[in-house]
Amino acid sequence: MGSAILNGILMGSIYGLTAIGLTLIFGVLKVINFAQGAFLMLGLFSTYWFVELTGANPYLALIFVVPFTYFTGYYTQKFLIKPVFESEKDVREPIGVIIVTTGIWYMLDNLALMLFGAEYRTINVPSLSEAISFFGLYAPLSKIIGFFISITIAGALFWFLKYSKMGKAIRATSQDREAASLMGINQYKIYNVTFGIGIAICGIAGTVLLPFYYVYPTAGMHLDILDFVIVVLGGLGSIPGALVGGLIIGLIESVGSQFISYSWTIEIIYLLFLVILFVKPEGLFGVKGEF
């Protein structure tokens, strides 16, 4: 049981990392990015091919994956999503953007299928598969590293949004984009940067997942669904909420599987999702207009 709890916490932190980008984008742009899972798949494939072509440690791939996914997100927002925003600038929550992100999701998944085929791929790094003991509790080294990366990224992002000049501009835009524009903030540049950061976090999550996760064109779909559950549980727009929500889901998944089948564990997670929607729709940490 102790090892199940430990593994639940470790995996839950990684789930939280995958959800942070989604909740950040929603918090600022006020739309759900349905392509988030597809961008996570992009991070997985980017890391996979970096390792295959260089033979380097998968975590070194972050040197390439982070800027690649950031600029992919930045220019996706600039050239594909921004025109829709401009056409719906008087709408609080543009529906057209949701349709565009859904199209991007299908485009990326099918592009990956066309380029790489439907095969399941993985990397073999024996040192990362070794189980590390904590007071008699065991967990894979790859998940321990993933836990520390997830906590570090969440903390760094929270600091960035709270104290940096760009972070304050992002928060101002999220609270009232019209007032922010009147104060000289270019809201569309903020959207570009925010979307880029959100997708870069997907890239980091892909690197963290790769040592113990399969890579295939629809790899992000399952995690995308879990991400929606996590951000609703933690609170849409709340970064700490995404991390806590991920920990809760990870614990339910890990501990629950010790007593019931995995299918029933997933049912419990979705039941919790529905309960939160009915009882506390803003989530555990959701505060209107704030991160």
Rg, the chain, Cα only: 19
| Model pLDDT, residue 290 | 46
Per the DSSP assignment, residues forming a β-bridge with 140 are 131
Region of residue 272 (phi > 0: left; psi between -120 and 50: alpha; otherwise: beta): alpha
Burial status of residue 156 (CB atoms within 10 A of its CB: 0-12, 13-18, 19 or more)? exposed
- The DSSP output letter for 60 is G
Q: What is the pLDDT along the chain (291 residues), one digit of tens a residue?
A: 788 999 999 999 999 999 999 999 998 988 889 999 999 999 999 999 999 999 999 999 999 999 999 999 999 999 999 999 888 777 666 688 889 999 999 999 999 999 999 999 999 888 888 888 877 788 999 999 999 999 999 999 999 999 999 999 999 999 888 899 888 999 999 999 999 999 999 999 999 999 999 999 999 998 888 999 999 899 888 888 999 999 999 999 999 988 888 889 999 999 998 998 888 888 888 655 444
Contact criterion met (CB below 8 Å) for 235 and 291: no
Domain spans of the chain?
Answer: 2-220
Q: How far apart are CA 199 and CA 81, in angstroms?
A: 14
pTM of the model: 0.94
Q: For the purposes of burial, counting CB atoms within 10 Å of the CB of 96, is it exposed (0-12), middle (13-18) or buried (19 or more)? A: middle
